[in-house]
Amino acid sequence: MHILSFDIEDWFHTFNRKYYNNPGLWKSLPSTVEKNTGIILDFLKKHNIKATFFCLGWITETHQSIIKKISRQGHHIAAHSYLHNKREDLSKKSFYSDTERNIKTLEDITGEKVNTFRAPGFSLNHNAKNTIETLYKLGIRYDSSLKSGFYLNDKKIPDNPFLIKTNNISIKEFPIHTFSFLNKKIIYSGSGYFRVLPYNFIKNKIMAKEYEMLYFHPRDFDNSVHKYINNPLLKLKYRFRTSSTLNKLKFFSKDFNFLSIEEADKSINWEKAEKIVL
Ligand SMILES: [Zn+2]
């Protein structure tokens, strides 16, 4: 089972201190999200693939036409917060209001119920019990914000989709895989390292597992986004092998059948899935 997902945000929605937590600046910056999301949508249409799109609330509001286009093409629409704050940088109250605003904006624009979430920076494991309860209260039943090999409280995050339970509620979790390299746990199935690592290396990693979650941003497909970045290291990071992303995805689409979370859910036997009880 190979799930394809995209986090719909602009090139400045990274954790670069200059822009993070400074939404007052965002409207004055050149935007590339529509152009690059267009590249993604054309690719998916051509290859008849449905994916899950985690959409930032701020983008949903400021670029309504691209979100409507994603929805019209029948993709699975999901939430990725309103202002792209990591969970640990928000109080319980502001996490609730930010997520609520994200979901409402998306539902108003697409007319679809939103039941799936991804936290910015895969940061769900902060204050996990309260976070899960908040998400459930807001109608979220599926999540993809955790990295395998890390811990949720003191419980090791499994490799395959699993259930997070607390009190009488449960959320279905679709983790992203990591591998260890120089004492660091690295995500190979998306964004920066996907661009850098050779195709066969990633393919072998993916083939070794029954389940895989791939994830990208529109900026991963952009050969020119580095023009807007001054910091030389960040410039290199955002330029490096962006032209390889689409080609690799083309190869993968021949080797694997990609699904959205919505489609994958139907083929999982949740009775047999692992559980983490908080
Ligand atoms: Zn993000």
Residues 37-50, mean pLDDT to the nearest whole number: 96
Q: How remote is the CA of residue 138 from the centroid of ligand 1, in Å?
A: 20
Lookup result for tokens 């400021």: 62
pLDDT at 238: 62
Residue 222's pLDDT is 82
The answer, yes or no, to whether residue 171 has pLDDT greater than 90, is yes
Mean pLDDT of 100-124: 96
Q: What angle do CA 226, 56, 18 make, to 5 degrees?
A: 45
Given this model, what pLDDT does residue 246 score? 85
Q: Measured between alpha carbons, how far apart are the two ends of the chain, in Å?
A: 27
Cα of 170 from ligand 1 centre, angstroms: 24
210 Cα–ligand 1 center, Å: 26
By the 8 A CB rule, do 77 and 60 touch? Answer: no
Q: How confident is the model at residue 57 (pLDDT cuts 50, 70, 90)?
A: very high
Say if residue 100's pLDDT is above 80.
yes
CATH of the domain at 121: 3.20.20.370
Say if residue 189's pLDDT is above 90: no
Total tally of structural domains belonging to the chain: 1
Beta-carbon contacts of 199 under 8 Å, excluding residues fewer than 6 positions away, are 248, 251
Q: What is the pTM of this model?
A: 0.93
Average pLDDT for the chain: 90
Ligand 1 centroid–CA 271 distance in Å is: 31
CA–CA dist 9, 80 (Å, integer): 9
Taking the centre of ligand 1 as the mean of its atom positions, its distance from the CA of residue 87, in whole angstroms, is 12
Q: Are 127 and 167 in contact (CB under 8 A)?
A: no
Instruction: Give CA 40 to chain center in angstroms.
Output: 14
- Residue 82 pLDDT more than 90? yes
Distance 86 CA to ligand 1 centre (A): 9
The whole-number pLDDT of residue 116 equals 98
| Residues whose CB is less than 8 angstroms from the CB of residue 24 and which lie 6 or more positions away in sequence, other chains included | none
Using an 8 Å Cβ cutoff, are 146 and 121 in contact?
Answer: no
- Average the pLDDT over 146-155 and give the result: 90
Mean pLDDT (whole number) for 86-100: 96
Q: What is the pLDDT of residues 231-275, one digit of tens each?
A: 766 666 666 666 678 888 888 888 889 999 999 999 999 999 999
CA 77–ligand 1 middle distance (angstroms) = 15
Percent of the chain with pLDDT over 90: 66
Supply the pLDDT for residue 214.
93
Write the DSSP string, the chain. -EEEEEEE--TT-SS-TTTTT-HHHHTTSPP-HHHHHHHHHHHHHHTT---EEEE-HHHHHH-HHHHHHHHHTTPEEEE--SS---GGGS-HHHHHHHHHHHHHHHHHHH-----EE--GGG-TTTTHHHHHHHHHHTT--EE---BTTSEETTEEPPSS-EEEEETTEEEEE--B--EEETTEEE--SBHHHHHHS-HHHHHHHHHT-S-EEEEE-GGGG-SSGGGG--SHHHHHHHHTTHHHHHHHHHHHHHHS-EE-HHHHHTT--GGGS-EEE-
Å from CA of 183 to ligand 1 middle: 24
CA of 217 to the centre of ligand 1 (A): 8
Tell me the CA–centroid distance for residue 247 and ligand 1, in Å.
23
Question: Range of 79's domain?
Answer: 2-277
Ligand 1 centroid to 73 CA: how many Å? Answer: 22
Between the CA of 47 and the centroid of ligand 1 the distance, in Å, is: 25
For residue 120, report the distance from its CA to the centre of ligand 1, in Å.
4
User: What's phi and psi for 180, nearest 5 deg?
Assistant: -90, 130
Percent of the chain surpassing pLDDT 70: 94
Instruction: Give the pLDDT of residue 201.
Output: 85
pLDDT at residue number 236: 64
Question: 180: pLDDT confidence band, cut at 50, 70 and 90?
Answer: confident
The sign of the dihedral angle between the CA atoms of 20, 24, 27, 28 is: negative
For residue 2, what pLDDT is reported? Answer: 94
Determine the pLDDT at residue 99.
98
How far, in Å, are 38, 150, 180 from residue 184 at the CA level?
A: 34, 11, 5
